Amino acid sequence: MIRFKNVTKIFHPNTTALKDVNLHIRPKEFVSIVGQSGAGKSTLIKLLTAIDKPDKGEIIIGGWNITNIKDREIPVLRRQIGTVFQDFRLLPMKTIYENIAFALQVCGVSRKRVIQVIPQVLKIVGLHEKADRYPHQISGGEVQRAAIARALVHRPKILLADEPTGNLDTLNTKDIIDLLLKINEFGTTILLVTHNKDVVNSLKKRVVLIDNGEIISDQEKSKYIL
């Protein structure tokens, strides 16, 4: 599904963000990417979504070598990788339904398709009864659920969750992680980038630890011990 082959990323003049990274993530895996601030996690995300390109090595996603991806191909790539962030990034003047619909409309999806898809994703995230509410009218956990629904509308093969529980309390954190596990059970590959040791340790799934731009540990059913 995802392969990094000897990937190095240097931010000039002399900052090496990633160094000779080799990583293979299989289809349908749930993998936690962990490490301290500045370890290289954000660079990994930017390379996966083609915000940046590597200075050395290759990145392959689903058999597609994106190392030198053309600008016109980037939207196609990003529809295969749903992304969820800590700060939600919903449009405050649009309802939950409208926020999710907007993600389809900007890609030219037909109204018929929008009407078909949105109820499905709202049901998955448990917000089908709150579709007409605005972000400020629902809880932080529900806002993050809406953001996850928006990320699912293109039925991505990969869901990249970058600190998705960073702004949530313990109860809402558990709900979001349970939702990610549910989505993973549907067959979506999940990459969870987080500082939350309790979350990672409760999952008992694969953990990739990055430090100073290098993968220093990659273990199945592991814990975040640093």
The residue segments making up the domain with residue 165 are 2-219
Query: For residue 158, which of 37, 56, 22, 45 has the smallest C-alpha distance?
Result: 45
Tokens of 42: 């954000």
The domain that holds 62 is classified in CATH as 3.40.50.300
119 within domain boundaries: yes
pLDDT value for 215: 96
Cα separation, 37 vs 198, in Å, equals 17
178 within domain boundaries: yes
The number of folded domains in the chain is: 1
114 within domain boundaries: yes
224 within domain boundaries: no
pLDDT value for 37: 84
Model confidence at 86, pLDDT cuts 50, 70, 90, reads: confident
Question: With 90 as the cut, is the pLDDT of residue 79 above it?
Answer: no
